[in-house]
Amino acid sequence: MDSKTRLLYWMLEASKGGPTRIRILRIISEKPMNLRKLAMEVKLDYKTVQSHIDLLSENGVIYTPKKGYGQVFFISPDWEENELLAKILSGENDGKEKGKKRKSKK
């Protein structure tokens, strides 16, 4: 596993906010949009979505060609070929651990 895939794994599968970030990335990959529209699309508070966008942007997974008001977010070209991201965006991986069964409390 290369360093980019490890980083992506941490951000999307091993952290509490991973499923939300996956939803955000899927939306952006289908239709790039600004932060306000993205917050309305995922039905979350603007500031919550902004913190997820900041993390994804700081790590280079998404980018915006224009800084400031009305910036539109896109998947970074550097990440488009990443196998894990491709699986996640295609819906093969939803960011939840599979195969783990919890013991029921009796």
Task: Report yes or no on 12 lying in a domain.
Answer: yes
Instruction: Place 91 in a pLDDT band, splitting at 50, 70 and 90.
Output: confident
Instruction: Decide: 61 and 8 in contact? Cβ < 8 Å.
Output: yes
Q: What does each C-alpha distance from 49 to 2, 6, 57, 61, 85 come to in angstroms? A: 27, 23, 12, 15, 19
Average pLDDT of 77-99?
A: 76
Task: Report yes or no on 76 lying in a domain.
Answer: yes
**Which domain does 29 fall in, by range?**
3-88
Helical pair 83-90 and 18-30, crossing angle rounded to 10 deg? 80
What six digits make up the tokens of 39?
A: 């917050």
| CATH code, domain carrying 8 | 1.10.10.10
Give the tens place of pLDDT for each residue, 22-81: 999 999 999 999 999 999 999 999 999 999 999 999 999 999 998 888 899 999 998 988
Task: Report yes or no on 71 lying in a domain.
Answer: yes
- Distance, in Å, from the CA atom of 37 to the CA atom of 24, rounded to the nearest integer, reads 11
Task: Report yes or no on 101 lying in a domain.
Answer: no
pLDDT given for residue 93 in this prediction: 62
Task: Report yes or no on 42 lying in a domain.
Answer: yes
Instruction: Place 88 in a pLDDT band, splitting at 50, 70 and 90.
Output: confident
